[in-house]
A and B are shown apart, each in its own frame.
Chain A
């Protein structure tokens, strides 16, 4: 069975600083994908970044980067130059690519608050 763990229920960061949101996962599948989503108070789920298990380089999308450490089974999200609009709930999720099934398994989320 797959499991995603986000150990930080809440995080604070000052505007313009960088912040790392932790995510560890557990799977026996050799092929999988890791996703990060942002959920503002409006409730929508905004796709941020993706990392495949066979990708050699860490994924980056603008101010978002994923610190992928496969041996440690961690996929931490790094947000650089935080903005007030980054305040939201952040979810890490995993998708398996073997054995059928396309569902995403989500972690419990981290509430990020960006302060002036």
Chain B
């Protein structure tokens, strides 16, 4: 298994500002993933972050809005830029230490006013 931590666990932000979410894993992993869960909804993949290359974004998500960094094999950040109330969600990072497992961090609850 993998132990994943996220910071912050929750935040309340003003519209127009940006928030950077950190994801730390206790072991080296090739791929890290960022998901969004809007209120009452299921999880949607934002992007896949590989170390040493640019993140791959899913349809409907763009780098200008959700820039991602992956400086090493245990760490990644997701920034939610120029926030609006529609960005209020839980943001979760996940890792895939093996093909049969994908573990999630505890999530970051974001409320944008």
Could you list some 8 contacts between A and B, CB below 8 A? A42-B106, A43-B90, A43-B106, A43-B107, A95-B102, A103-B45, A104-B45, A108-B42
Most buried by B among A35, A37, A103, A106: A103
B100→A50 contact, CB < 8 A = yes
CA distance A108 to B38 in the complex (A): 12
Q: What is the interface of chain B, defined by CB distance below 8 A to chain A?
A: 31, 33, 37, 41-45, 48, 58, 90, 92, 94, 96, 99-107, 109
Query: Taking chain B's interface residues, is the majority helix, strand, or loop, or is none over half, making it mixed?
Result: strand
Residues of A in contact with B, size category: 20 to 34
A107→B42 contact, CB < 8 A = yes
CA distance A104 to B109 in the complex (A): 21
Q: A45-B94, A104-B102 are in contact. List 15 more A-B contacts (CB 8 A).
A: A42-B106, A43-B37, A44-B105, A45-B107, A47-B102, A50-B100, A52-B100, A91-B42, A103-B33, A103-B45, A106-B44, A107-B42, A108-B41, A108-B42, A109-B42
Given A33-B100, A102-B96, A103-B48, is A45 in contact with B33 using a C-beta cutoff of 8 Å? no
Kindly state whether residue A64 has any CB partner on chain B within 8 Å.
Answer: no
Number of residue pairs spanning A and B whose beta carbons lie under 8 angstroms apart: 54
CA distance A106 to B37 in the complex (A): 11
Cβ distance B104 to chain A, nearest Cβ, rounded Å: 4
Taking CB atoms, residues of chain B closer than 8 Å to A95 are 99, 102
CA distance A45 to B96 in the complex (A): 14
Taking CB atoms, residues of chain A closer than 8 Å to B103 are 47
Closest to B96 in A: A102
